[in-house]
């Protein structure tokens, strides 16, 4: 997994998170809407769950890259 993360550059990961992760931008980001539904216990439609996964995946990628970067041993 770490090797796969190393092949994805930071600019690409951030670009994915800021575009796909936040799209559509108005009236509010889709990920924000889906997270509100999730925490309200109203996320039940399959399309909403798919949207949460699709718009959340880039943020998970950035989080995984950040965790890998922080846990990397310094030489």
Interaxial angle between packed helices 46-71 and 10-19, expressed in degrees from 0 to 180 and rounded to the nearest 10: 150
Q: How many whole angstroms separate alpha carbon 32 and alpha carbon 22?
A: 8
pLDDT digits (tens, 9 = 90+) for 5-56: 889 999 999 999 999 988 888 888 889 999 999 999 999 999 999 999 999 9
Contacts with 22 (C-beta within 8 Å, 6 or more apart), sequence order: 29, 30, 31, 55
Contacts with 26 (C-beta within 8 Å, 6 or more apart), sequence order: none
pTM strictly above 0.85: no
């Amino acid at each position: 997994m770490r090797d796969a993360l190393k092949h994805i550059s930071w600019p690409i990961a951030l670009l994915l998170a800021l575009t796909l992760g936040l799209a559509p931008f108005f009236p509010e980001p889709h990920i924000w809407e889906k997270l509100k539904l999730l925490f309200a216990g109203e996320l039940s439609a399959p399309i909403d769950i798919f949207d949460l996964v699709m718009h959340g995946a880039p943020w998970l990628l950035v989080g995984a890259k950040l965790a890998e970067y922080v846990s990397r041993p310094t030489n």
